[in-house]
Amino acid sequence: MAQLNDIIHQPVRLRIMAILAAVSTERQVTFSFLKGTLGLTDGNLGAHLHKLEEAGFLTITKTFVRQKPQTYVEITEKGRQAFEEHRQALQELLGGA
Amino acid sequence: MAQLNDIIHQPVRLRIMAILAAVSTERQVTFSFLKGTLGLTDGNLGAHLHKLEEAGFLTITKTFVRQKPQTYVEITEKGRQAFEEHRQALQELLGGA
């Protein structure tokens, strides 16, 4: 039976991973972009990102751009694989049965 | 943005709804069948079915077959629509972005 990933399945985290997985490797996603796209508070988005970072699915990089703090979020190879497996498990579940 | 249904999204309930939605309207699904297929305890399956019943997504009918108690679970039209919308929201989320 298809194996769903509990960490990724949570709706907000599923959206985060879908966005990160869809972005080409050259482009970087900012915390602000995710916040605006998902309509979340800093605290809520931060908590979900932290959970995904703990699982090794993404990296969070804090830096400065023109003296302003900027936070970048990037999917890891492990995260990409986990998302792909989760996507396939969902497709299996939704498509057939 | 795609609207996920929180009640249906929970992994066990997603599997329950996928099974019920896939079954033709003439066939009836028993509690025992769901329990075996999903590998759940009576209590756990019962709690999830109750939640889905409360939402109006399925009906639970207790009856006797050859003097043995039998419980049938059936998806409602409302449940079928909600599952279809949820499926589409997931497909949208997983497919594109």
B40-64, pLDDT tens digit by residue? 999 999 999 999 999 999 999 999 9
Pick left, alpha or beta for residue A76 (phi over 0 → left; psi -120 to 50 → alpha; otherwise beta): beta
Residue by residue, what is the 3-state secondary structure of chain B?
CCCCCHHHHCHHHHHHHHHHHHCCCCCCEEHHHHHHHHCCCHHHHHHHHHHHHHCCCEEEEEEEECCEEEEEEEECHHHHHHHHHHHHHHHHHHHCC
Q: Which of A23, A26, A24, A25 is nearest to A34 (CA)?
A: A23
CB contact under 8 Å between A18 and B91, yes or no, is no
Architecture per CATH, domain B6-95, reads as: Orthogonal Bundle (1.10)
Tell me, what's the pLDDT at B1? Answer: 55
CB contact under 8 Å between A11 and B6, yes or no, is yes
Nearest Cα of chain B lies from the Cα of A51 at a distance, in angstroms, of: 18
State the 10-residue block means of pLDDT for chain A, 97 residues long: 86 95 83 95 97 97 91 95 94 74
The β-bridge partners of A68 are A65
List of chain A residues whose C-beta atoms are within 8 Å of the C-beta of residue B5: none
Report the distance separating Cα B25 and Cα B40, nearest Å: 24
Tell me, what's the pLDDT at B97? Answer: 40
Report the distance separating Cα B62 and Cα B83, nearest Å: 24
| Residue B12 sits at the chain A interface (C-beta within 8 Å) | no
Give the number of other Cβ atoms within 10 Å of residue A1's Cβ: 11
Domain boundaries, chain A: 6-95
Give the number of other Cβ atoms within 10 Å of residue B95's Cβ: 11
Residues of chain B with pLDDT under 50: 96-97
From the list B6, B18, B96, the residue facing A97 with the nearest CB is B18
Buried b (16+ CB within 10 A) or exposed e, A67-84: eeeebebebbeebbebbe
